[in-house]
């Protein structure tokens, strides 16, 4: 561990130890929360991990959490946050994440009186993150923010904690983030999105892959290198696959390809539930 990472680890440990009661870590399966869970488990004995399952959470994220919990000896509770019972969430307004996190933290709070903590890092402060508003409403603490830790440092910490290849996990926001603002979130559409992304990721494991659902149809976004690697035959096969998976679900399953752009399913200025700022997925 280099000196910079060691200093960050010390600050993180201090933030975790400063919490005066037991800790409940919200673990999504991404590298931020997995690293936080690892640090919290190493720092204290009164830690429990909570992972929410739903149609918006890929099964491989759940499997990753369960595997690491078994390997590391975490106390893990898998819960259903119930966001799909929330009409505000399903409507997919600009602040959909607020309703998602409100349901998540409400569910965790019904299972424990421990201090809830999240894996938000300082990079998240540069984007519109309505989930942070929900966290504030539930008095959730953010040890990375308290320790001044950004995403790059999280990855360095993950390597130093022995998380290996997990330290390079690409950003993987929930599947609902692939659906254009204002289009209702439906589990069957999310399953189709995940199936397309999983198949493409198998061919391009180091590429950035997003399958977006928009009013005009389906857009597959890829990083430039992966996009260039798609030959006409593969594009035609993908169009057939998209039609098969989405044809009965969407008004149009027409497929287009585009270079990956962070947050492109989000329509800035769309007015719903009082929100109108841009955020990123």
**275 is written with which tokens?**
């929100």
**206 is written with which tokens?**
């180091």
DSSP letter assigned to residue 164 = G
What confidence tens digit (pLDDT) does each residue in 198-234 have?
999 888 877 889 999 999 999 999 999 999 989 999 9
What confidence tens digit (pLDDT) does each residue in 149-185 have?
999 999 999 999 999 999 998 887 899 999 999 999 9
In three-state secondary structure terms, 25 is: strand
276 Cβ neighbours under 8 A, 6+ residues apart: 94, 268, 269, 270
What confidence tens digit (pLDDT) does each residue in 112-157 have?
999 999 999 999 998 788 999 999 999 999 999 999 999 999 999 9
In three-state secondary structure terms, 220 is: strand
pLDDT of residue 271: 40
Q: Are 230 and 255 in contact (CB under 8 A)?
A: no
pLDDT of residue 279: 40
pLDDT of residue 94: 94
34 Cα distance to chain centroid: 12
- Between vectors from CA 100 to CA 276 and to CA 163, what angle results, nearest 5°? 115
Q: How far is CA 235 from CA 29, 79, 206, 227, 231, in A?
A: 30, 38, 19, 10, 6
State the chain's mean pLDDT as an integer: 92
What confidence tens digit (pLDDT) does each residue in 4-63 have?
999 999 999 999 999 999 999 999 999 999 999 999 999 999 999 999 999 999 999 999
151 Cβ neighbours under 8 A, 6+ residues apart: 32, 121, 123
Q: How far apart are CA 70 and CA 65, in angstroms?
A: 9
191 Cα distance to chain centroid: 16
Sheet holding 209-214, edge to edge: 209-214, 217-222, 255-259
pLDDT of residue 273: 38
117: β partners: 25, 141
């Amino acid at each position: 561990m280099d000196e910079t990472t060691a200093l960050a680890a010390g600050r993180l440990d201090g933030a975790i130890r400063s919490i005066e009661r037991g800790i409940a870590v919200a673990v999504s399966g991404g590298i931020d929360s997995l690293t936080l869970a690892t640090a919290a488990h190493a720092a204290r004995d009164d830690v429990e991990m909570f992972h929410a399952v739903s149609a918006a959470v890929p099964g491989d994220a759940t499997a990753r959490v369960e595997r690491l919990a078994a390997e590391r000896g975490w106390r893990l509770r898998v819960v259903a946050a119930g966001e799909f019972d929330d009409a505000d969430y399903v409507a997919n307004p600009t602040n959909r994440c607020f309703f998602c996190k409100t349901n998540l933290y409400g569910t965790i709070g019904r299972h424990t009186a421990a201090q809830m903590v999240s894996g938000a890092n300082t990079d998240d402060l540069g984007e519109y993150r309505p989930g942070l508003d929900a966290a504030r409403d539930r008095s959730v603490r953010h040890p990375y923010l308290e320790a001044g830790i950004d995403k790059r440092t999280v990855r360095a910490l993950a390597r130093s904690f022995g998380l290996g290849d997990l330290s390079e996990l690409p950003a993987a926001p929930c599947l609902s983030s692939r659906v254009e603002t204002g289009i209702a979130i439906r589990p069957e559409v999310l399953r189709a999105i995940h199936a397309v992304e999983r198949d493409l990721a198998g061919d391009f494991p180091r590429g950035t892959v997003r399958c977006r659902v928009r009013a005009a149809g389906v857009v597959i976004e890829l990083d430039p290198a992966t996009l260039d690697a798609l030959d006409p035959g593969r594009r035609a096969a993908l169009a057939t696959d998209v039609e098969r998976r989405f044809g009965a679900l969407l008004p149009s399953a027409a497929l287009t390809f585009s270079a990956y752009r962070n947050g492109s399913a989000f329509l800035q200025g769309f007015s719903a539930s009082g929100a109108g700022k841009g955020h990123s997925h």
